[in-house]
């Protein structure tokens, strides 16, 4: 990992990553709940709200720290950024 990327891995990096994990947890729980309660409009509204929040936080994360996913789920600037960001076992 080059030095410029290392400098970016500050407290905000971990805060943003944790926020994404928390949102993913909420989305998973709401999805499981909706599997058994498909007519709950409030839960569906919450799911859609958290989906929008996740999209925003995800874009913010990638604009600051590079791609979060591999295999075409995230775009990359030149040069290939995936090898420059911390890998899951590094955080």
Dump pLDDT digits (tens) for 26-69. 999 999 999 999 899 999 999 999 999 999 998 898 888 877 76
Please give the Cα distance from 1 to 85 (Å, whole number).
7
| Region of residue 41 (phi > 0: left; psi between -120 and 50: alpha; otherwise: beta) | alpha
- Quote the percentage of the chain above a pLDDT of 90: 40
Task: Look at 50 and 79; give whichever has higher pLDDT.
Answer: 50
Tell me which residue has tokens 């944790």: 18
Q: How many residues does the chain have?
A: 91
């Amino acid at each position: 990992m080059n030095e410029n990327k290392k400098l970016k891995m500050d407290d905000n990096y971990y805060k943003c990553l944790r926020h994404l994990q928390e949102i993913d947890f909420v989305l998973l729980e709401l999805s499981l709940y909706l599997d058994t309660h498909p007519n709950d409009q409030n839960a569906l509204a919450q799911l859609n709200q958290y989906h929008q929040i996740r999209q925003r936080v995800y874009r913010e994360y990638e604009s600051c720290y590079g791609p979060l996913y591999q295999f075409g789920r995230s775009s990359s600037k030149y040069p290939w950024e995936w090898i420059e960001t911390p890998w899951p076992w590094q955080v």
